[in-house]
Chains A and B, each alone.
Chain A
Amino acid sequence: MTRAAAIVSKRLGRTGRFLWSSWSGLAAIFLFCVIWQIGHEAYGAFILPSPIAAIAAVLQLATQEANWQTALVTSRRALEGFALAALVGISAGIIAGYSAASIRLARPLVTLILGVPPIAWIVLAMIWFGSTDGMVVTTVAIAATPAAFIGAAEGIMTRDRGLDDMARAFGAGPWRRFSTLAVRHVAAYVFPALVLTLGTAFKVAVMAEVLSNSGGIGGGLARARSNLDVSEAMAWVLISVVALIAAEYGFVRPLHSELERWREAARPWGVRR
Chain B
Amino acid sequence: MSALQLSGIGHAYLGRTVLDHIDLTVGAGEIVALVGPSGCGKSTLVHVAAGIVQPLRGRVSATYVRHGMVFQEPRLMPWATARDNIAYPLRLAGVSRKERRARAEDAAARSSLDVEDLDKFPIELSGGMRQRVAIARALANRPDFVYFDEPFTALDVALKRRMQDLVISAARDERFGALFVTHDLFEAVRIAHRIAVMERRGQGIAGERVIDGVPGAREDRQIFEIVMRYLGEDSLFHHVNDIDERRLP
Residue of A nearest to B72 (CB): A162
By a CB distance below 8 angstroms, the chain A residues around B147 are 169
By a CB distance below 8 angstroms, the chain A residues around B80 are 262
Q: How far is the CA of A172 from the CA of B51 in the complex (A)?
A: 11
Q: Any chain A CB within 8 A of the CB of B157? A: no
Chain B 57-80 residues near chain A, CB threshold 8 A: 66-69, 71, 73, 75, 77-80
Query: What are the interface flags for B212-236 relative to A under an 8 Å C-beta threshold, 1 for contact and 0 otherwise?
Result: 0000000000000000000000000
Are B88 and A180 closer than 8 Å at their CB atoms?
A: yes
Q: Any chain A CB within 8 A of the CB of B47? A: yes
- Partner of A168 from the list B52, B73, B78 (CB cut-off 8 Å) is B52
By a CB distance below 8 angstroms, the chain A residues around B88 are 167, 170, 180
Are A266 and B121 closer than 8 Å at their CB atoms?
A: yes
Are A266 and B123 closer than 8 Å at their CB atoms?
A: yes
Interface size of B by CB at 8 A reads 27
A5 to chain B, nearest CB (A): 14
Are A163 and B79 closer than 8 Å at their CB atoms?
A: no
Q: How far is the CA of A262 from the CA of B52 in the complex (A)?
A: 28
Are A176 and B52 closer than 8 Å at their CB atoms?
A: no
Q: Any chain B CB within 8 A of the CB of A166? A: yes
- Partner of B69 from the list A163, A170, A180, A265 (CB cut-off 8 Å) is A170
Are A163 and B77 closer than 8 Å at their CB atoms?
A: yes
Q: How far is the CA of A79 from the CA of B225 in the complex (A)?
A: 73
Are B69 and A262 closer than 8 Å at their CB atoms?
A: no
Residue of B nearest to A6 (CB): B119
Query: What are the interface flags for A148-183 relative to B under an 8 Å C-beta threshold, 1 for contact and 0 otherwise?
Result: 000000000000001101111111100010001100
By a CB distance below 8 angstroms, the chain B residues around A162 are 71, 73, 75
Are B92 and A176 closer than 8 Å at their CB atoms?
A: yes
A171 to chain B, nearest CB (A): 6
Known: A163-B77, A168-B51, A172-B92. 20 other contacts (CB 8 A): A162-B71, A165-B75, A166-B69, A166-B71, A169-B51, A169-B71, A170-B68, A170-B69, A170-B88, A170-B92, A170-B141, A180-B91, A180-B92, A184-B79, A260-B79, A262-B79, A265-B120, A265-B123, A266-B123, A266-B124
Name 29 A/B residue pairs within 8 A (Cβ), A-sorted.
A162-B71, A162-B75, A165-B52, A165-B71, A165-B75, A167-B88, A169-B69, A169-B71, A170-B88, A170-B89, A170-B141, A171-B89, A171-B92, A171-B93, A180-B88, A180-B91, A180-B92, A181-B77, A184-B77, A260-B79, A262-B78, A262-B79, A262-B80, A262-B121, A262-B123, A265-B120, A265-B124, A266-B123, A266-B124
